[in-house]
Amino acid sequence: MEKFMDKFLLLGVSVLCAVVTILPAKATANLESSEFLQISDGYLRAMPPGQTVTVGFLKVRNMSDRDCEITSAKSSISDRVEFHEHLHSDGMMRMRPRARVSVLAGETVDFKPGSLHLMLFDINVKIEQLPHTLITLQTDQCGSYRFPLSIKSLIPSKTKEHH
C-alpha cells in the first residue's frame, strides 16, 4: 500500500509540473490581473556578437473596460528595460524613450519593428542559447504580468536545404 501511495504521489507531482510548464503567457499573469491584459506573439531579437542591447516585440490586448498604463518592464537578463518608439521627424526616423504605454479599454498595442518596442540594455548572457527569457510588465491599476519571450535570430538558419 505504501509503494502505491508513493507512486500515486509521484505521478501527481509530475502531472502538476507538466501543466505549470506549458501554461500560456496570459495564464501566468497574476490571477487578479488576468482579466485585464492578454500578452501574445512575443519575442526578443538575438544579438549579433559583441552587442549588449536587444529589442523585444509583443502584443498587449486590453480585455477589460478599464484603460491600463504599462508603467515599467523588468527582465530576467537585463536590469534596464525601457519602452522606445520610432518617430518620423524632419524626414528622418528617430528613436526616443517613452515613460509609459497606454493600453485603452478593448484595444491592442503592438510592440513591433519600426514602431513601439522594448529595449533591453547591458545584457551579459548569450540569449541566442536560451529558449526564452522572462519579462514582467507592471501597470498602474491593471496588475503585473510575467511571461516568456522566445528568442529569434535575424540570421537564417543554416539547416535549411536548398534545391
The per-residue pLDDT for 14 is 43
Q: What is the pLDDT of residue 44?
A: 96
Which of helix, strand or coil describes residue 23? coil
**Separation of alpha carbons 136 and 144, rounded Å:** 7
pLDDT in tens, 112-153: 999 999 999 999 899 988 999 999 999 999 999 999 999 998
Report how far apart the first and last C-alpha atoms of the chain are (Å, whole number): 61
Alpha carbon distance 148, 132 (integer Å): 6
Burial (CB count within 10 angstroms: exposed 0-12, middle 13-18, buried 19+), residue 161: exposed
Task: Please determine, for residue 12, whether its predicted confidence score (pLDDT) is greater than 80.
Answer: no
Q: What is the pTM of this model?
A: 0.73
What was the pLDDT predicted at 1? 56
| Count of other CB atoms within 10 angstroms of residue 111 | 21
**Looking at the domain covering 26-150, what would its CATH class be?**
mainly beta
Write down the domain spans for the chain: 26-150
Give dist(CA 144, CA 118) in Å, integer: 16
Q: What is the pLDDT of residue 3?
A: 56
